[in-house]
Chain A
Amino acid sequence: MKRMKNKNFKMIYWFDKLCNSKAMKKFTTVWLITLLTMGQAFAGNSSFYTSNRSEEKNEISDVQQTKSVKGRVTDASGETIPGVTISVKGTNQGTTTNIDGEYQLINVQENAVLVFSFVGMETEEIPVAGKTIINVVMSESSIALQEVVAIGYGTMKKSDLTGAVSSVSSRDFINMASSSSNSILAAKAPGVTIRKSNAAPGVAPIIRVRGANSLMGSNDPLIVVDGNYGSLPDMYEIESIEILKDASATAIYGSRGANGVILVTTKRGSQKKPTLEFYSDFSINTIGKRYDLMDAYEFAKFNQSVGAYPFTDAEVEKFKNGGGTDWQDAILQSGLSQSYRVIFSGGSKDIRYHITTHYNDNTGTIRNTEASDYGLKAKVDMDLSNRLTVQVEASAGHNDNLNPELSQGGSKTAIPLMAAVAFSPTVPIYDENGRYTPLGVGSGTLMNPVLMTEAHQRNYGNGATGVGNLQFKITDDLTLNAKALISLSNGGTREFESLEYNRLYPRADQYSYDNKNWLTNAFLTYSKTFANNHDFSAMVGFEQTKYEGQSFSASADRLPIESVGWNNLGLAAPYIGVGSGWADNALRSYFGRINYNYASRYYLTVNYRADGSSKFRGDNRWGYFPSFSLAWRLSEEAFMKEQDLFQNIRIRGGYGVTGSQAVGSYATYSPLRGMGFFWGGSAIQSGYISQIGGNPNLKWESTKQLNVGADFTLIDSRLSLSLDYYNKKTVDLLAPLAVPAYAGGDPEYGRTSVISNVGSVRNEGFEFNLNYFILKTKDWSYDINLNGAFNRNKVLDLGEEARIYGAGYAPGLASTSPFVLMPGQPIGTIFGMKYLGIWQENQAEEAAKYGAQPGDYRYEDLNGNNAYDSDDQQVIGNTNAPFSWGFNNHISIKNVDFNILFEGVHGRDIMNWAYLVATERIDFTQLYTHKDSKDRWTPSNPNAKFARIGNSHLIPLSSQYVEDGSYVKLRNLSVGYRIPKSVVSFATLRLSLSAQNLLVFTKYKGYDPEISSTNDDMNSGMDWFAYPNSRSISFGVAIEY
């Protein structure tokens, strides 16, 4: 703590600097101008904001003095509303409505007041006053101003928000197959992109909020589930999701908030009789598109004719009448996913519970890939007194993933899709002895694609988490919250390679990890309204967390008996190896917030957080993250009460700083790397080699973000519109600086780069979100959501570096990465040669200067030195889409509802080297396999797609292989049908049928424009045979007893 005091001066200095900064002055000016303009526009208009709420209360008096209350909640059109939260005012008692909109509360005091709240509806407060049946009609309020939403370390009325926050409600995904749980946010909120770059079973999609700021590792937003850092829970468990986008909202998370924060509130138990819900669904997944490859005869004949392989005529003729193998068929299959959930919930006045169990299983579209998981989560809430509430959560789960490596790019010996495209169709899957044909013709080191899928690798994980939360109302105005969390996880990898697969020895290994993570926090919240109009609240808190991980590995390099697999590694002695490892890191934080508003008109929020991370040394250890924001509800002003066009107008703006640790444990060290040596005899002597990597001077990367936004509600609250502009700048960017080989850069036995704080990146963008209730009758309703976001990403500065190269790909195609960072260009820039087509006969003289002939590929020679060299490289693409949008339609007709969701991503480029492999001869595939590749240049075919046979130049890193990866997908099309009580009386039953990715509109030639062989933002547009997304058709059942 002493250290913190010394830092106070620094903080004050920092604030002072901030307030005098250019950006602040600019911001203040913009803010004032906006206010003045808006003020003038609406001056003199004085119609009152009128609520269109209409209530209907059916009261049935009950002579017996029962304390039980039940009823039904419907909307204005009479349709029942499931999921409405009903709480007893001033207590923790509450419940939610079931699928039929019915609820029951027991032990309600007669003088109690029930509060009915639901996303998108006006909150209703109804006194019980002795009634036992209270049916409520809720009216829509698309701005849902009274709704309480989660913010970091607390909750807030939605109307009081001053930051950029998007909400997603369960009605947007409840009809989707639960196997798509991970994609529930897709196209739902502007500025939030969800992309599944690798669709292998068990792989989570990539979520980005307002573009990528950081280069090192994660740009993933922070996901906070009921106050715990974690991952998105099962969709049936989700009550609501808020996405905090700007720094004023995320700064309370300090060093974790730079990539946005997704706050998830899950369903909890409520006071009701025990209820059982059951959900199941089943999907069939298929790959929609394939490469158009030659069959065996066509392949043999063409490759013979162009001299690519010396097939004899007899060999060619053999395939004239069929035979051969369609390798895409051989490794692709229809995947099946199924998932089941059982949820128990209920409770009494003082103890409420909610228990969910789930099981998922998903077989992939590539042979021998599968993922499954199951788990249980129990939440129990207890009121120890009317001031003290304790919540306990416990969860445990297991997951299992078969052959996840098959989906990943990198090694050319382990990508079955590549092998399927490049392997010779003349070869049968099995030879005459029933064993896999090991080698193709002319396909070099590539393995039989089906044999490749015979790899047997199992990744498994077990996790258990326990959470205790305590909420203590010290006085009516002062609350203490405290949390303790412990999370244990273990898991690992088990691998077996048969003799047939390995071709030398059967081998097996196991790797396991055992991790522990704990967190504690405590915060005090004070809130009070002074003199009716001054709402004030303040929060101060403390948090610390520590991670410790251990790992262990063992391998058997020559198993004498295959059948023991990985279960008896010791059998391979002395050809066995062992290893172990340890890592830890810790983070300690202090934070606080002040909220103030005057008469629900003028709002101010100030956040401050200080984070200390073990990953940095000395003075670089602590990072300070302040933010503030302002909002003005123009519609509450007296001069606005006259007009009736707008029901709500709010203008808000904020500025703040968030950070990122962006590096792993020990990034400031350069530990040695194990490298044993065989000195003869039977055992390897252990050894170590030095490697580059550590940089003791690392410090926090920080992101400064300005956000200005406005929210409007108009046309009788049927239309709501939010607009946001943001400008965020990440400084002290943690970037990997490539180190030349002579200084120790070695991608295979070491590292290629050292992390340094260099330069800065800017993301600037505009977002809009529009909700409109088009139609609303008793039986029919139709509403739409349209959202879109423009984001412009630009690297501003890289210090002394002119360029920073990304990850290398496909050894043998290019020696440098296709992706670079360079000032003035976005993250994800593709940098290579500009392709100019094919030299024609009348250009022979010019071509000769490059050692080329007519029919060869031609590239732009920027420096005019008659050679294609690195100085001729230029920007040839951008892999990050500047514009994306979502269009979501909800239609309901009586008991049937439809959801139609389109998503568009525009302006994204992809480096399609998969197509190159299929159409050209390269080092490991010496033969042509794609039908397109037959279109070769000859003097009589000058407009051919591809160069002449024997072309002397082929530069893979050229714009020839950069394709437009823009797409529009019909993400979701679903129909749900609620079976009327008159048909099935014992339970509530609901059926749904949905399709994901049913239609894809794109010019892209590969399997799927959404995929990428790597996940990080700098290298996000490489198609090196990544696992494509499938089209799935799902059927779901939901039952509630």
Chain B
Amino acid sequence: MKKYIHIIFILSVIVSFTSCQSNDKFLAEEPKGQLFADNLCNNEAEIQLLINGMYGIFDRAINRPYESMEIKFAASDDIIGTGNQRVYYHEMEINMPITTGGDTDVQRGYERAYNTVNQANTIINNYKNATGVVPEARLNALAAQAHYIRAFMYFWLVRFFNNIPLVTTAYDPDSKREVTLSSSKDVYELIVSDLKFAEEWLPVKWDGFMANGAPTKGAAKSTLALVYLQMAGYPVNGGTEYYALARDKAKEVIDRANEFGYALREHFWEVFDPYWEAGSRELDEPIFWIDHTPDDYTVRSPNPSRPIEFGGWESMIAELGFFNRFPEGERKEFTFVTDFYHSNGTYYHYTDLKAKHPAYRKLWADNFTPGWEWENRDDPNSNWRTRMDLSASWYSGRPIIFTRYADVLLIYAEAKARTDGPDALAYKCLNDVRNRAYKGLGTTEASVSNLTTEQFIDSVVWERAWEFAGFEYSARWFDLQRLQLVEKATTEWREEPEEKYQLLRPYTKKDYFLSIPSKEVMLNPNLANNNADLQ
């Protein structure tokens, strides 16, 4: 009897300790709350989650101080690091003595750009899951954003690196696919086809929150015009055929400017209004932009440019010749700061600074803090006249504009001139930008007329330099690149003393582009010497 009780006891203990669940059930994983790309995209809300994420990473790829590649590539004339602390950022990744660090910052820009491409790929590869749930036009419009961003990012990458890996599918851990370099021509092909999809399906205007910055039909056409312009020049050398494409695409935008809602703002400084709200003007200059919270950490902020006396790094400043040649007027006054007021009462003219250099006002103190309004700059009690050292450092609250109407006007003017000579519209495009820069839209004092085609083209190219000087998406550097003016800009146009540059050797075509970051080459040796054919 006693034994019997024991056995019951043992059995009951074992049964109570051995869960009745089967092994498969007990060991099943439950990743509750996690989302997965391949089962998402079933409806608009799910696609929108991925679109929001894509813009989030896009913003980081192109705006963050350490991640935007342009800051490391300031070998242009509008931006060059000749200040006292120029090695703060590895801005001179090419052709300058670099003591430490190699290409770690370029690596970040490269990583972030490809991460953005991968997000776009995720949407492009999965959005069709919602076919039948979301109407076709709407679905394509959603997907067209991914095509636009992928094109924008590849355009960014191809201009910095030239030959790069071209990836259009989402990552698969099982795939042993060998990735090699694609020529810039192939990359441009994808960019053009993405933008064509985008211009077909993107709406003229978005509703709701996406009205504040999502790419539109006009943005796709404007970007495509710039892509054609770039392709016409070096290194694709598409020539007249592409200038014609750029001309026609820019013309389309100009012709439909009222429909798209584009016009120049009256004064240059208004373009950088930190208080601007999308949709507040019926016709406006920004074409593609990202709104920013005031505490966004961005490369378009005071720190890179302001002098060390004011807590900055003065690593991103204009070449002196560039500053001296810059035409006088409202635009110059807004673009540069030459008079500096410290909160300890000291005043410096830029020639009194340790760096003896003006700074870019375009980047300075544009946070939302009241008291930094441009209109108050002459008030003796304004922050501009009393405490410039206390402005924001790495932060900016103004919307970051990637493409604006002035760009389209100047693309048309240049492309038109290069195909069949400037016409009245081309002159109007150029003169509107020039006059606005001098005294404001509607004035005529800065107009030019009756130039030879050569002269006209030359003034458009310089106009682009002045208009987009500083951190407006490296427009000047990409112009020097496509027009093969880098050699000239780094020699005869320079007024800075030679010892400030310490060039290792004269610039060559090899210096037009960056090498694929060394870490990436180690991970995939196929990517070595991505510009081996350039000398």
Contacts and interface: CB of A to CB of B under 8 A. Distances in A.
Interface of A: 1, 3-4, 309-310, 438-439, 441-442, 444, 470, 472, 474, 480, 482, 484, 503-505, 520-522, 542, 544, 546, 557-558, 580-588, 612-615, 621, 665-666, 668-681, 685-690, 692, 694-697, 738-750, 754, 756, 803, 805, 811-816, 851, 869-870, 920-924, 926, 950-956
Interface of B: 6, 9-10, 13-14, 17-19, 22-24, 26-37, 40, 48-57, 59-60, 66-67, 84-85, 87-90, 97, 99-105, 107-108, 110-112, 114-115, 117-119, 122, 164-165, 167, 170-171, 173-174, 179, 209-210, 212-213, 277-278, 291-293, 295-296, 308, 311, 313, 354, 392-393, 395, 504, 517-524, 527
B13 A744 contact: no
B53 A689 contact: yes
Given A677-B52, A926-B88, A952-B99, A812 B105 contact: yes
B504 A505 contact: no
A584 B33 CA distance: 12
A676 B56 contact: yes
Given A472-B13, A677-B56, A743-B118, 10 more contacts: A671-B35, A672-B53, A679-B291, A692-B173, A742-B179, A743-B179, A744-B115, A744-B171, A950-B97, A952-B99
Contacts of B22: 1
Nearest to A587: B27
B179 A811 contact: no
B174 A520 contact: no
Contact of A813 (B27, B100, B118): B100
Nearest to A548: B30
Nearest to B394: A445
A1 B23 contact: yes
Given A923-B89, A923-B90, A740 B179 contact: yes
Contacts of B90: 812, 923
Contacts of A470: 13
A687 B521 CA distance: 32
Nearest to A816: B519
A671 B31 contact: yes
Given A504-B395, A521-B17, A614-B28, A581 B33 contact: yes
Contact of B213 (A679, A690, A692): A679
A582 B32 contact: yes
Given A740-B524, A741-B110, A814 B56 contact: no
A588 B291 CA distance: 52
Nearest to A432: B344
A837 B479 CA distance: 43
B36 A672 contact: yes
26 contacts: A482-B17, A504-B295, A520-B19, A581-B33, A668-B29, A672-B50, A675-B53, A676-B53, A677-B56, A679-B209, A679-B212, A680-B277, A688-B53, A689-B50, A694-B173, A741-B520, A743-B171, A749-B57, A749-B112, A814-B104, A815-B102, A815-B103, A815-B104, A815-B518, A923-B87, A923-B89
A388 to B, nearest CB: 9
Contacts of A813: 100-101, 104
A585 to B, nearest CB: 7
Nearest to A613: B27
B314 to A, nearest CB: 11
A742 B114 contact: yes
A672 B108 contact: no
Given A504-B295, A687-B49, A680 B212 contact: yes
A314 to B, nearest CB: 14
Contacts, number: 281
Contact of B50 (A688, A756, A923): A688
A673 B504 CA distance: 44
Contact of B518 (A674, A690, A869, A924): A869
B84 A952 contact: no
Contacts of B118: 690, 743-744
A851 B96 CA distance: 11
Contacts of B23: 1, 3-4, 588, 612
A228 to B, nearest CB: 15
Nearest to B293: A678
Contact of A743 (B97, B167, B292): B167
Contacts of B31: 583, 665-666, 669, 671
Nearest to B353: A310
Contact of B171 (A480, A692, A922): A692
A954 B27 contact: no
A697 B172 CA distance: 12
B518 A557 contact: no
Most A CB within 10 A of own CB, among B14, B23, B24: B23
Given A689-B119, A697-B174, A740-B179, A669 B104 contact: no
B106 to A, nearest CB: 8
Contacts of A520: 17, 19
Contacts of B518: 815-816, 869-870
Given A482-B17, A690-B118, A666 B29 contact: yes
Nearest to A750: B115
Nearest to B103: A815
A586 B21 CA distance: 12
A586 B179 contact: no
A28 B9 CA distance: 45
A956 B288 CA distance: 41
B13 A482 contact: yes
Most B CB within 10 A of own CB, among A438, A686, A687, A690: A690
Given A522-B18, A746-B112, A921-B99, A444 B104 contact: no
A474 B527 CA distance: 71
Contacts of B519: 815-816
Contact of A741 (B35, B37, B114, B210): B114
Nearest to B367: A504
A237 to B, nearest CB: 27
B10 to A, nearest CB: 6
Contacts of B311: 438-439
Contacts of A815: 102-104, 107, 517-519
Given A310-B354, A923-B88, A671 B19 contact: no
B37 A672 contact: yes
Contacts of B313: 444
B295 A558 contact: yes
B522 A816 contact: yes
Closest 6 CB pairs of A and B: A687-B52, A687-B53, A680-B212, A671-B34, A689-B53, A680-B291
Given A614-B28, A740-B523, A441 B308 contact: yes
Contacts of A738: 523
Contacts of B107: 741, 815
B517 to A, nearest CB: 6
B117 to A, nearest CB: 8
Contacts of B59: 677
Contacts of B110: 741
B27 A503 contact: no
A309 B102 CA distance: 23
A424 B52 CA distance: 43
B26 A954 contact: no
B507 to A, nearest CB: 15
Contacts of B295: 504-505, 557-558
A905 B22 CA distance: 49
Contact of B66 (A1, A669, A694, A811): A811
B504 A851 contact: yes
Nearest to A817: B519
Contacts of B35: 671-672, 688
Contacts of A670: 36-37, 173
A671 B37 CA distance: 7
A614 B13 CA distance: 25
A581 B34 CA distance: 8
A586 B23 CA distance: 10
A698 to B, nearest CB: 10
A763 B523 CA distance: 27
Contacts of A585: 29
